[in-house]
Amino acid sequence: DTGRTVIRGGLVISATEEMHADVLVEGERITALAATGSTLAESWTSGDARVIDAAGHYVIPGGIDAHTHMEFPFGGTQSSDTFETGTRAAAWGGTTTIVDFAVQTVGSSLREGLDTWHAKAEGTCAIDYAFHTIVSDVTEDTLKEMDVLVDEGVTSFKMFMAYPGVFYSDDGKILRAMQRAADNGALTMMHAENGIAIDVLVEQALAAGKTDPRYHGEVRRELLESEATHRAIQLARVAGAPLYVVHVSASEAVAELAQARDMGLNVFGETCPQYLFLSVDNLAEPDFGGAKYVCSTPLRPVEHQATLWRALRTNDLSVVSTDHCPFCFSGQKELGRGNFAKIPNGLPGVENRMDLLHQAVVDGHISRRRWIELACTTPARMFGLYPRKGSISPGADADIVVYDPNARHTISASTHHMNVDYSAYEGKRVTGMPRTVLSRGRVVIDDDAYVGSAGHGRYVPRSTCDYLT
């Protein structure tokens, strides 16, 4: 029994407003908010309620990271965070829900993929979790399974225009899956890069002796991201389906999204902290250090960052997720020594997202309400978790972060909690960090201590996207 908890005296921030309010938590839910100092709020602290003093702090909804890959098989290895270590690290960073990707492998069913991911996550997570499914093999049976999964709360499907021979689907398969999604209310998520053309450039680069990590960024050209983005949008129009483009990194792709949205299409875009804070310069770090920054879509020249920040303000990009997909430098990233194409793709970041975006508030890129909208409320609405998740409102799950906006700290692998031997943001100084984190009413982070438990986190079935009618 988690009893009654009052979070007292903080600044409660939502996507639309801020108020000095006390928050009453009973059991797993938020049951009321009242102005700090009001008779009602004072009445809550009589009796045996536990009081969390939030004076001088923000009180925000727990972060929703709608794009993570725990225990994800890639390039003959597997991402280094388990659901246990990855969700614990998420909690440390103020994220209280992840939406991870179950993987259908070619020749198997969506069901087998989803069951496998349930088995990985069940009983091990520190915070709540949900699933999308990666569709790698579009068949008549797969299309029928999509309808069943939507009814089970898996209401979004990711497809790949990249990675031929692994996750890749051709345009016909994409169109068929999009048509099905248009019928069953699901959201199609797209990895938009022209993988067929990229593979040609990879082969040519390697043949020319260009094997270093920085060539990963050169061959995965901006134009091959924007071309795929454009094509995905046209296919979605033909299918009459909504579209969510994941990990948008290049200005050219943002322009495609903006044009589609100006036409009134249900096209949404996501970007990730690595595209906002890192660049191709990192890929050129010496001694194979660039391998730490190999992800797809790749990091871009620094000029793209300004476009991404602008798009986050204008809503042409409306979600910031991490694409958390960690691989250790030692033994995993090193698989690509002498051949950048063999470096497992992915960066760690699930623990850093809330703080990096708060730093963006400090730096003047976004307002603090927009911070909450991008990191909590819109992901919840986009992926059918709202109103249970994503806001501090009566009836919502008590997933709450008491956030200290003045706590300075330095991001480092020596202090992070992700199961990976480096940090993509090593040495970066940020201002702001979670002090207390509640997951469904239970304190899981208490200042400098993790007090949660593996298995507290539950599977959350999702409804359909709140932005569609």
State the residues that interact with ligand DUC by CB under 6 A.
69, 74, 191, 295-296, 323, 325, 345-346
Least CB distance to Zn ion at residue 251 (A): 19
Least distance in angstroms from the C-beta of 207 to Zn ion: 26
Q: Given the complex with ligand DUC, which of 5 and 282 has the nearer CB atom?
A: 282
Considering beta carbons, is residue 181 or 350 the nearer one to Zn ion? 350
Give the burial string for 304-333 (b: 16+ CB within 10 Å, else e).
bbebbbebbeeebbbbbbbbbbbbbeeebb
Partner whose footprint covers residue 404, from ligand DUC, Zn ion, none (CB < 5 to 8 Å by kind): Zn ion
- Compute the least distance from the CB of residue 162 to Zn ion, in Å: 7
Nearer to Zn ion, 256 or 404 (CB): 404
Minimum Å gap between C-beta 231 and ligand DUC is 17
Rounded least distance, CB 273 to ligand DUC, Å: 13
For ligand DUC, the closer of residues 93 and 346 by Cβ is 346
CB of 434 to ligand DUC, least distance (A): 26
Binding site for Zn ion (CB under 5 A): 191, 323, 404
Closest to ligand DUC by CB, 346 vs 432, is: 346
Cα 47 versus chain centre, distance? 40
By C-beta, is 205 or 294 nearer to ligand DUC? 294
Of 375, 332, 330, 334, the residue nearest 357 (C-alpha): 375
Measure CA 186 to chain center.
18
* In the complex, minimum distance from the CB of residue 391 to ligand DUC, in angstroms, rounded to a whole number: 29
3 state SS for the chain: CCCEEEEEEEEEECCCCEEEEEEEEECCEEEEEEECCCHHHHHHCCCCCEEEECCCCEEEECEEEEEECCCCEECCEECCCCHHHHHHHHHHCCEEEEEEEEECCCCCCHHHHHHHHHHHHCCCCCCEEEEEEECCCCCHHHHHHHHHHHHCCCCEEEEECCCCCCCECCHHHHHHHHHHHHHHCCEEEEECCCHHHHHHHHHHHHHCCCCCCHHHHHHCCHHHHHHHHHHHHHHHHHHCCCEEECCCCCHHHHHHHHHHHHCCCCEEEEECHHHHHCCHHHHCCCCCHHHHHCCCCCCCCCCHHHHHHHHHHHCCCCEECCCECCCCCCCCHHHHCCCHHHCCCCECCCCCHHHHHHHHHHCCCCCHHHHHHHHHHHHHHHCCCCCCCCCCCCCCECCEEEEEEEEEEECCCCCCCCCCCCCCCCCCEEEEEEEEEEECCEEEEECCEECCCCCCCCECCCCCCCCCC
187 contact choice in ligand DUC, Zn ion, none (CB below 5 to 8 Å, kind-dependent): none
Give the one entry of ligand DUC, Zn ion, none that residue 82 binds, where binding means its C-beta sits below a cut-off of 5 to 8 angstroms depending on kind.
none
Q: How far is the CB of 343 from ligand DUC (least distance, A)?
A: 10
The residue among 167 and 277 lying less far from Zn ion, judged by its C-beta, is 167
CB of 113 to Zn ion, least distance (A): 15
Give whichever of 435 and 440 is closer to Zn ion, judged by the CB atom. Answer: 435
Residue nearest to Zn ion (CB): 191
CB of 323 to Zn ion, least distance (A): 4
The binder of 346, among Zn ion, ligand DUC, none, by C-beta within 5 to 8 A per type, is: ligand DUC
Whether the CB-CB separation of 170 and 397 falls below 8 Å is answered with no
Q: Which does 256 bind (CB under 5 to 8 A by kind): ligand DUC, Zn ion, none?
A: none
Minimum Å gap between C-beta 344 and ligand DUC is 8
Which CB sits closer to ligand DUC, 74 or 309?
A: 74
Which residue number, 316 or 323, has a Cβ lying nearer to Zn ion? 323
345 binding partner (options ligand DUC, Zn ion, none; Cβ < 5 to 8 Å by kind)? ligand DUC
Mention every residue, 6+ apart, whose C-beta is less than 8 A from residue 369.
13, 14, 15, 16, 17, 18
Q: Which is closer to ligand DUC, CB of 346 or CB of 457?
A: 346
